[in-house]
Amino acid sequence: MRVTPRYRRVVLKASGEALMGDQGFGIDVSVVDRIAADIAEARALGVEVGVVIGGGNIFRGVAVASKGGDRVTGDHMGMLATVINSLALRTSLVKIGVDAVVLSAVAMPELCESFSQRQAMSYMNQGKVVLFAGGTGNPFFTTDSAAALRAAEIGADGLFKGTQVDGVYSADPRKDSNAVRYEHITHDQVMREGLGIMDTAAIALARENHIPIIVFSIHEEGGFGAILKGSGRCTMVDDGAATEPAKP
- Asked if residue 111 belongs to a domain, the reply is yes
CATH label of the domain that carries residue 88? 3.40.1160.10
d(CA 177, CA 79): 35
Structurally, the chain folds into a number of domains equal to 1
Confidence at 1, pLDDT banded by 50, 70, 90: low
Q: What pLDDT digit, counting tens, does each position of 189-246 carry?
A: 999 998 989 999 999 999 999 999 999 999 999 999 999 999 999 999 998 755 445 4
- Asked if residue 1 belongs to a domain, the reply is no
- Asked if residue 196 belongs to a domain, the reply is yes
Q: What pLDDT digit, counting tens, does each position of 56-92 carry?
A: 999 877 777 777 888 999 999 999 999 999 999 999 9
Q: Which domain holds residue 43?
A: 9-238
- Asked if residue 14 belongs to a domain, the reply is yes
- Residue 197 · residue 181 · CB < 8 Å: no
- Asked if residue 96 belongs to a domain, the reply is yes
- Asked if residue 94 belongs to a domain, the reply is yes
- Residue 159 · residue 11 · CB < 8 Å: yes
- Asked if residue 245 belongs to a domain, the reply is no
Give this prediction's pTM: 0.93
- Asked if residue 2 belongs to a domain, the reply is no
The helix/strand/coil state of 13 is strand
d(CA 236, CA 230): 12
Burial 146-159 (b: 16+ CB within 10 A, else e): bbbbbbbbbebbbb
